[in-house]
Amino acid sequence: MYSHNKQTRVYTQGRPLKSHEQKMIELLKSELSQDSKEKLLDIGCSDGMFLRHLRSEFASLDLWGLELDDKFIQQGKAQNDQAGVQIMQGDASSVDSSTKYDVILASGILSVFDEPFPILEGWLNCLASNGILIVFGYFNERDLDTRIHYRNHFDDHGWETGLTAYSQKAYQKYFGEKGQVSVDFIPFVPDFDIQEDENPIRSYTVQTKSGKRLIVIGGHIICNMGYMILRKQN
Ligand SMILES: C[S@@+](CC[C@H](N)C(=O)[O-])C[C@H]1O[C@@H](n2cnc3c(N)ncnc32)[C@H](O)[C@@H]1O
């Protein structure tokens, strides 16, 4: 299963929550009570920054993260210990399914894999009965799957993945045929402009004449971003 993505320099600095992360918190608030004690896993959690924000909203949640890069784990360790957030080192393509989570989040990571279905199957195996998996990423509203390999000359790690975008219908078809998992999509469109950055891998927005805001990724690709909500129905 091909994946190679090293464009992580933007995740290494402390920063305020981005609007898609704020919306993720709103989604979680509609799912969980403030004193919920459920077990939550954030896959590709970087240094745990989002989990620490979750701690300030949900004092009793059992918060776990999974991250490939030990540099991030070490970077967030002291703050995570203080917040009661535990980060495991591991690969998102082979998550240990002996532990079950009530909620799994995966933001900005599914697109790293050329073939998303085995990855999602692995994550669903880690989900408790009636659990919920929320994936933030690229989901094409038109019925076309894309696998894009790019090379970023601003921060060169050779040819990389990270812009895979399968169609929403492809996911609906796959899980519809499989059964036991419901699929919903919630679109994400920022309510403010994002300027182009000198690093061409950073997303930005453009506006159509009618004022509709579009997200541009990978320097030149207009794409649909949003949340895919998978619920295990047993
Ligand atoms: C694009 S960043 C997203 C970070 C954060 N979830 C967010 O939404 O801002 C992807 C994160 O996943 C990690 N990552 C990349 N490939 C991974 C893999 N195969 N297994 C686990 N983590 C991975 C990266 O090190 C990075 O921290």
Residue 1 CB partners (closer than 8 Å, separation 6+) = 93, 113, 114, 115, 118, 119
| Under 8 Å between Cβ of 227 and 24 | yes
Burial class (CB in 10 A: 0-12, 13-18, 19+), 185: middle
Residue nearest to atom 17 of ligand 1 (CA): 68
The strands making up 225-232's β-sheet, listed across from edge to edge, are 85-89, 62-67, 39-43, 101-107, 127-138, 225-232, 181-188
108 Cβ inside 6 Å of ligand 1: yes
Quote the CA–CA distance of 207 and 185 in Å, as a whole number.
Answer: 23
Both structure tokens of 232: 């295990």
Distance 45 CA to ligand 1 centre (A): 6
203 Cβ inside 6 Å of ligand 1: no
Could you state, in order of their start, the residue ranges of all structural domains in the chain? 9-191+224-232
Q: Report the sign of the C-alpha dihedral through residues 41, 29, 128, 132, in that order.
A: negative
> Which of 3, 5, 91 has most ligand 1 atoms within 8 Å of its beta carbon, as the pocket-test mutant?
5
Q: Tell me how far apart the terminal alpha carbons of the chain are, to the nearest angstrom.
A: 29
68 Cβ inside 6 Å of ligand 1: yes
Q: Helix axis angle, 49-57 relative to 19-31, nearest 10°?
A: 40
Quote the CA–CA distance of 83 and 169 in Å, as a whole number.
Answer: 39
**Class for domain 9-191+224-232, per CATH?**
alpha beta
Quote the CA–CA distance of 212 and 194 in Å, as a whole number.
Answer: 13
67 Cβ inside 6 Å of ligand 1: yes
User: pTM score, two decimals?
Assistant: 0.94
161 Cβ inside 6 Å of ligand 1: no
Q: What is the pLDDT of residues 132-177, one digit of tens each?
A: 999 999 999 999 999 999 999 999 999 999 999 999 999 999 999 9
pLDDT means per 10 residues, the chain with 234 residues, are: 66 75 96 94 97 96 98 96 98 97 98 97 97 98 96 97 97 96 95 94 95 93 96 87
111 Cβ inside 6 Å of ligand 1: no
H helices within 142-212, ranges in order? 168-178
